């Protein structure tokens, strides 16, 4: 890549970029198909509680992204999120809590693993040995 091309890329990367959830799912679906039948994609979102905070619309966005990826990619795209607090305590806002969304998601493709910090430390230490 030339210096001018790199500079151009950096300048354009600061411009706002917008994509619909449906279009994103289609892009991921196309990518997975192009990679072959045995390919999977994992999206890891660290500290989802900080992203969602007290905005239930953001939780609904996460639900829509996860559902659209599950439908378009037929289980070959996974969304994994982490949070220091349990999701219910982070997202209890305006009468909506994660359990409503969780009920929809767990039926198809979402598994929840709630671990306390001391248990996480134990798991990581065992894996590091």
- Identify the DSSP state of 118: H
pTM of the model: 0.63
32, 73 contact by CB (below 8 A): yes
Distance of alpha carbon 34 from alpha carbon 6, whole angstroms: 27
Distance set, CA 126 to CA 16, 69, 91, 122 (Å): 43, 33, 31, 6
In 3-state terms, what secondary structure has residue 49?
A: helix
Domain boundaries, the chain: 21-128
Tokens of 1: 């890549």
pLDDT along the chain (129 residues), means of 10: 87 82 96 93 84 78 88 89 65 51 47 54 63
């Amino acid at each position: 890549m030339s210096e001018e091309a790199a500079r151009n890329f950096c300048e354009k990367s600061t411009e706002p970029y917008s994509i619909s959830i449906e279009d994103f799912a289609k892009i991921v679906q196309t990518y997975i198909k192009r990679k072959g039948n045995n390919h999977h994609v994992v999206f890891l979102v660290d500290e989802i509680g900080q992203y969602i905070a007290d905005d239930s619309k953001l939780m609904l966005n996460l639900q829509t992204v996860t559902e659209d990826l599950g439908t378009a990619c037929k289980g070959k795209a996974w969304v994994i999120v982490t949070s220091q607090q349990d999701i219910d305590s982070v997202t209890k806002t305006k009468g909506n809590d994660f359990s409503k969304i969780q009920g929809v998601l767990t039926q198809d493709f979402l598994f929840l693993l709630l671990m306390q910090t001391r248990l996480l430390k134990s798991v990581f230490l065992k894996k590091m040995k």
